[in-house]
Amino acid sequence: MNALEQLKQHTVVVADTGNFLQLAQFTPRDATTNPSLILKAVQQSEYAPLLAETVRARRGQPVDEIVDAVLVRFGCEILQIVPGRVSTEVDARLSFDREATLARARRIMGLYEAAGVPRERVLIKIASTWEGIQAARALEAQGIRCNLTLLFSFCQAVACGEAGVQLISPFVGRIYDWAKKAAGAQWDEAARAGENDPGVQSVSAIYHYYKRFGIRTEVMGASFRNVGQILALAGCDLLTISPELLAALQASDAPVPRRLDPERAARAELAHVSLDEQAFRWALNEDAMATEKLAEGIRAFAADAVRLDRMIEGLRA
C-alpha cells in the first residue's frame, strides 16, 4: 500500500480544497473548504460557470445571500463525490458576533436542506473565538454540527470540548510557521521535525486531553506544510490535507506506523481544565502565538470574503 492508503488505516482522511474535480482520485471520506479555497476555485475556468450560474439565479438578492448560495453549491458538488461530510464556513467578519454567526449558520444549513442534503452531512465552520464557540454550543443543541477552525491553543480546544462541538481543526502548519519565524537563525529544522514539530505537539496534546477525559469532540489536524507533519499525527481522529500533499502521500511507499492511539491517550496523566469566559480570554492573551495567528487568520479569511463579494457584485451588475 502507498502511504495514503496506510494512513487511512489509522485516520479518517479529509480533503482540504474547493477544487472538487480533484477529489475522486484520493477517495477522502470528508472534505473541508474555506473562503480562500472557494475564492481560488471560482477564479479557475472549470468553476467560473458555476459561480456565474448561481449569481444569475439569485441576481436580485443581497450579496451575502448569494455568497452563501455559492458556498452551498460547491458543498453540494463535493457531497456528490465524498461519502461523508463537507465543512462550509461562516463569514469570518462575523467572528466576534455570536448572534450574527448563529443566523448565518442557520441560513447555510437551510440552503443545504432545501437542496436535499441532510444535516448529518454538513459541518458549519466557525472561528474559535469565544463568541464563535458559544454560537457553536447553541447550534449543536439545535442539531447543527460544527467544525471550530482557526484553532491554535489548548484553551481554545478546552472551550470547544466544554461546548460539545462536533469537531475542531487545530492548525499545525501555522503554529510551525510562527515558531520557525520566532526562532530565526536558531531554528533547527531537523530537530523540530516529526513529533518535535510545535504544531504536531499542539495537536497531540489536545488529542491526549480529549481521550483522557472522554470528550467526544473529534480532533482533525489541519494546515499542513509537509508530509512529515501528517505522518507524525497518524492515528488522529481525522486529518484534512491539501491535494498537493495527498498526491505526495499517494506517490510514497514509506511505512506509516500509528503515532496517536486512543487507548494509550486515555491513560495519560493529565489534569482536568475548566474555563469560563474570563479564564479563556486570559489564557488566549497569554499565548502570543495563538493570539497573533487567530487574528491573522480572521483578517485573511475576511479579506478573501471581501474579494468574493466584489466578484459577485461585478457579475450581477
Residues noted as catalytic: 125
Give the C-alpha separation, 208 to 259, whole Å: 12
Angstrom distance (rounded) from CA 29 to CA 34: 18
Sign of CA dihedral 42, 29, 147, 193: negative
Question: Nearest Cα to 167, choosing from 205, 124, 204?
Answer: 124
Q: Which residues contact 88 (CB under 8 A, 6 or more apart)?
A: 33, 71, 72, 75, 108, 112, 122, 123, 124, 125
The Cα–Cα gap between 187 and 181 comes to 8
